[in-house]
């Protein structure tokens, strides 16, 4: 796989623990997923690593993402915590390493943790680096610290009810990709009549329509599932092309419907 950019489609593992994480990743890899997203705070890096090791898929065919947790942002902690993550993942590098949330209360300056992340990349522990849950002001600080060309992506909540256009436009103007998490809005958007109508017209599922919509906007997606049928169905979203009218109807669903904004972690959203 070309590691110079983030893959448009991957497998998320948020909330998957123990055997559920192993089974989801194992099934995903068997079905053809080649990008897997995890994080230190998910508590499943070892399970993800186990599933990858057992899959027989060559490491250079995979794109593995993990995220540094807020406790490990200090310059003297970040690299060591990533090395621990890589040990759990049974690999000598991650393809992408992200800062998971802004440092609570700005305890660790953006320049410090981005510098440490750049150091991890220079040591070969990360092929690419980026951020997650950053607003425009924080993106500006990250760019000032390491340069926009060093920031592969900003992973943010983004779905038809929260399209995050200001952040997406700012990131795009600096060559930074957006990775959409919660693309299906915890399943809420799958019951949206507009999406159901578009799906029926294309002989597709509402999930496929929603994932295809995000990818056509240029965003990467990382849906998760424990069900083989859903993992297989989601994968087929890559073949679906929506028309201009479909995209316009999807755009009109914006309602600032944010689902994830943990107190003490979330920035002042744009």
User: Among residues 42, 73, 161, 181, which one is catalytic?
Assistant: 42
> 42 catalytic, yes or no?
yes
Nearest to 242 by CA among 270, 268, 203: 203
Residues facing residue 65 across a β-bridge: 37, 96
Strands (E), 50-176: 63-68, 94-99, 126-132, 151-157
What is the spatial distance between Cα 239 and Cα 139, in angstroms, rounded to a whole number? 32
What is the spatial distance between Cα 125 and Cα 32, in angstroms, rounded to a whole number? 25
What is the spatial distance between Cα 216 and Cα 178, in angstroms, rounded to a whole number? 12
239 burial type by CB count under 10 A (0-12 exposed, 13-18 middle, 19+ buried) = exposed
Q: Which two tokens stand for residue 194?
A: 């507009």
Task: Please count the CA atoms within 13 angstroms of the CA of 92 that sit on its side-chain side.
Answer: 3
Active site residues: 42
């Amino acid at each position: 796989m070309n590691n110079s950019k983030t893959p448009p489609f991957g497998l998320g593992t948020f909330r998957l623990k123990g055997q559920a994480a192993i089974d989801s990743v194992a099934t995903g890899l068997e079905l053809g997923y080649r990008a897997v997203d995890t994080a230190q705070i998910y508590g499943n890096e070892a399970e993800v690593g186990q599933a990858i090791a057992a899959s027989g898929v060559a490491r250079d065919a995979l794109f593995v993402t993990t995220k540094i947790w807020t406790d490990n942002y200090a310059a003297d902690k970040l690299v060591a915590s990533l090395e621990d993550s890589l040990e759990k993942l049974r690999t000598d590098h991650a393809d992408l390493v992200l800062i998971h949330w802004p440092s609570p209360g700005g305890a660790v300056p953006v320049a410090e943790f981005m510098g440490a992340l750049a150091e991890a990349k220079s040591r070969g522990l990360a092929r690419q680096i980026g951020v997650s849950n950053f607003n425009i002001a924080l993106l500006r600080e990250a760019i000032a610290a390491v340069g926009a060309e060093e920031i592969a992506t900003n992973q943010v909540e983004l779905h038809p009810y929260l399209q995050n256009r200001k952040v997406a436009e700012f990131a795009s103007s600096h060559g930074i990709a957006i990775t959409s998490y919660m693309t299906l809005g915890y399943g809420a958007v799958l019951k949206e009549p507009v999406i159901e109508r578009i799906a029926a017209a294309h002989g597709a599922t509402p999930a496929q329509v929603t994932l295809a919509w995000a990818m056509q906007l240029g965003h990467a997606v990382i849906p998760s599932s424990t069900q083989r049928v859903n993992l297989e169905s989601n994968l087929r979203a890559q073949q679906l092309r929506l028309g201009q009218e479909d995209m316009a109807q999807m755009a009109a669903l914006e309602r600032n419907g944010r689902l994830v904004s943990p107190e003490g972690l979330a920035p002042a959203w744009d």
